[in-house]
Amino acid sequence: MDSSVHAVSAQQQDRYSATAIGLHWAIALLIVCGFWLGWIMTDIPGITPTKLKYFSWHKWIGVTVFALAVIRVVWRVTHSAPADPPGMPAWQKGAAHLTHFLLYLLMLVIPISGYLYSSAAGLQVVYLGILPLPTIIGPDKALKVTLRLVHIYLNYTLLAFFVLHVLAALKHHFVDRDGLLGRMLPFLR
């Protein structure tokens, strides 16, 4: 085998595919925007056109995150991740795998909790203002209160794991200098 082909093959194995990288950053950007909108819209008093617009955008982002997260999970199941950096302690590997699992789980569960919350509030989600999504549960005031809290707490849990994920990536880049961040940011190589 040609050594240049072998070098390219080995290089591709130590980083994520373009599809995985694209999904990672698209979902991350959407989650940041959705969280920001959620934060802003809930501070707007009363029911205003701006607040309603932000709620719609927030829901559209949630549906999009859910769809992309499903694609990402399928991609991850069918495409192996790069190996952990050599010399990485077992506890760090375990923490990284657990954190990734919980991030994937939250990317799926949070949009579902928001969708159910909207249904319990008697508000149908109309994706992009065009596609009405089915209402799974009917209006229920008590369930609405519970689902609102579940949605909020899950989002703050996601925020905590997001911060942990970013801090760990920065630690690997600046302290360990093991090239781990370059697997998702190829321009750092």
DSSP string, 79-109: SPPPPPPTT--HHHHHHHHHHHHHHHHHHHH
Q: pLDDT-based confidence at 8, cuts 50/70/90?
A: very low
Q: pLDDT-based confidence at 13, cuts 50/70/90?
A: low
Pairing of strands 131-132, 126-127: antiparallel
Q: pLDDT-based confidence at 14, cuts 50/70/90?
A: confident
d(CA 56, CA 97): 34
Could you give the 3-state DSSP secondary structure of residue 47?
coil
Q: pLDDT-based confidence at 185, cuts 50/70/90?
A: confident
Both tokens of 148, joined, read 């609102």
Residue 87 domain boundaries: 3-188
d(CA 49, CA 47): 7
Tokens 């694209």 sit on residue: 22
Residue 110 and residue 151 in contact, taking contact as beta carbons nearer than 8 Å: yes
Residue 65 and residue 27 in contact, taking contact as beta carbons nearer than 8 Å: yes
pLDDT tens digits for range 93-131: 999 999 999 999 999 999 999 999 999 999 999 999 999
Both tokens of 144, joined, read 């609405």
Helix axes 49-78, 90-120, angle to 10 degrees: 140
pLDDT tens digits for range 127-177: 999 999 999 999 999 999 999 999 999 999 999 999 999 999 999 999 998
pLDDT for position 2: 46
pLDDT tens digits for range 33-58: 999 999 999 999 999 999 999 999 99
Which one has a higher pLDDT value, 66 or 12? 66
| 105: CATH | 1.20.950
Q: pLDDT-based confidence at 1, cuts 50/70/90?
A: very low
How many separate domains does the chain show? 1
Q: How far does CA 102 lie from the centroid of its chain?
A: 10
Which one has a higher pLDDT value, 89 or 179? 89
Q: Can you say whether residue 177 is alpha, beta or left, with left for phi > 0 and alpha for psi between -120 and 50 degrees?
A: left
